[in-house]
Structure 1
Amino acid sequence: MRSPSLRSRGEEQIRDEHGVPRGSLLGFWRWAYSQTLDNALRGVLAEYLVGLALGGPDRDARVEWDPYDLTTPDGVKIEVKSTAYLQSWAQKRKSTLVFNIPETNAWDSATGSWGLSRARQSDMYVFCVFNAVEPETADPLDMTQWDFYVAPTSRVNAALGGQKTVVLSSLKSRVAPEKVTFTGLADAVRRAV
């Protein structure tokens, strides 16, 4: 069932109490979501990019509190994590490439309740690294500026246990994810299953 709050065209008008148009949903999207170097928004963009690489996002709109980010057509649950050297603010040095990978209690939006046991909720991880280092040429929409690493959650669990974060170098040496390009993501996910 489609939520009445789900909007997809962007043409929808924002009206004042007299019914006078004051803006549009597209205007809000441009205002709120155009800074793709912002670390919080970049994570959402990474989810969308992985969804595109897998044939298109698996639903009409992102669900913020789902226990994982995407589902493949054959039911594989994917968690997408992102990191970058650059941020949207002034930096004295490049950021360390760190991913958050904590075990969580799953939220069930159908029942409005949390699961009882902590675990990594997905079958697969896709770790996305925005690898640009020069702010003047950084473009999160350019897939040549991204590296993608794919690993089954079982391997993340075996190598990292209950660890809550992992730096890229440790991820590569301990988990040994497959490094791929954007166009190689779908095949890498299929291989990792």
Structure 2
Amino acid sequence: MSDAPQQPEWIPAPEVPPLNGEERFVGVAATVADFWRFAMSDLRVNNTRGYLAEFLVARALGSSAHRVEWDDYDVLWRGIKIEVKASAYLQAWPQRAPSQLRFTGLRGHSWGDITQGMSAEKTYKADVYVLAALTTTSHADYDPLDVSAWEFFVIPRSKLIELGVDSIGRSTAARLSPSLRFDQLAEAISSAATPASSSAGDDPDRGV
């Protein structure tokens, strides 16, 4: 009989219904919408801008599903696994000059079955990568809610595997893909994913 300590069983995390913002806190005069305004009012902040880019890509594909934190990709559309990366010239802090557009984190460790931990090596986990750049260079004109202020690059996984890099700048992205408008995303993603590899049993239309 083994004396090794038994590992505790995993606690499953049930799905929760989406919030609409009107839910009220208990013990404080505030709503979930108040919290959202507190946490994500500035869309220039890096993580919030990333969420916004994922949202725009999902909407360009007609998906209204919700993002899944810690998943291996950001959007699942027609069996195509899509990773979204965002960059911008302007930031939420003082700058001497506009930032260089760079898209990072293209490779990552895969969770797979979370009970087994992360994969040992970094890989390209999506079928298609959408690089979203907010092109405004003046704060007076800054409006991230205007989709015409964004440009997109759609790159299949195979091209990134050939490069073997974790990040690329705009010039490299432009060599791998034409600059695309919001309304061109669906066709470009579909073309980049042909043929696309997708796992059996995936939800055919899951978004951010």
TM-score range, shorter chain: 0.7 to 0.9
Task: Indicate the residue corresponding to 1:12 in structure 2.
Answer: 23
Q: Note the C-alpha offset of 1:27.
A: 0.8
Task: Indicate the residue corresponding to 2:147 in structure 1.
Answer: 143
> CA contact under 8 A between 2:102 and 2:168: conserved in structure 1?
yes
Highest RCO, 1 vs 2 (Cα 8 Å, sep ≥ 6): 2
For residues 41-81 of structure 1, give each alpha carbon's deviation from its aligned partner in whole angstroms, at most 9, with x where no partner exists.
10110000000001124x3x322211111100x21000101
Task: Indicate the residue corresponding to 1:22 in structure 2.
Answer: 29
Q: Which amino acid aligns with 1:55?
A: G
Partner of 1:106, secondary structure, is coil
Partner of 1:8, secondary structure, is coil
Change (3 A) 1:112 1:15: farther
Alignment of 1:105 onto 2:102:
no
**TM-score of the superposition, structure 2-length normalised?**
0.81
1:44-55 correspondence runs (5 A): 44-55=51-62
For residues 156-192 of structure 1, give each alpha carbon's deviation from its aligned partner in whole angstroms, at most 9, with x where no partner exists.
211x21x22211112223xx21321001100111111
1:24-173 correspondence runs (5 A): 24-57=31-64, 59=65, 61-72=66-77, 74-108=78-112, 111=115, 113-158=117-162, 160-161=163-164, 163-173=165-175
The structure with the largest strand share of the pair is 1
Q: Which has the larger radius of gyration?
A: 2
Q: Note the C-alpha offset of 1:2.
A: 5.9
How many Å separate the matches in 2 of 1:47 and 1:109? Answer: 24
How many Å separate the matches in 1 of 2:32 and 2:113? Answer: 25
Partner of 1:189, secondary structure, is helix
Q: Note the C-alpha offset of 1:95.
A: 0.1
RMSD: 1.8
Change (3 A) 1:186 1:102: closer
Q: Note the C-alpha offset of 1:116.
A: 3.8
Change (3 A) 1:2 1:42: same
Worse-superposed segment, 94-103 or 111-120: 111-120
Partner of 1:71, secondary structure, is strand
Gaps of 5+ in 2: 1-12, 194-208
Q: Which amino acid aligns with 2:34?
A: G
> CA contact under 8 A between 1:66 and 1:109: conserved in structure 2?
no
Partner of 1:12, secondary structure, is coil
Alignment of 1:3 onto 2:15:
yes
Gaps of 5+ in 1: none
> CA contact under 8 A between 1:46 and 1:81: conserved in structure 2?
yes
Q: Which amino acid aligns with 2:150?
A: W
Using the aligned pairs only, state the percent identity.
35
How many Å separate the matches in 2 of 1:78 and 1:10? Answer: 27
How many Å separate the matches in 1 of 2:60 and 2:158? Answer: 22
Detail structure 1 runs of 4+ shifted over 4 Å in the superposition. none
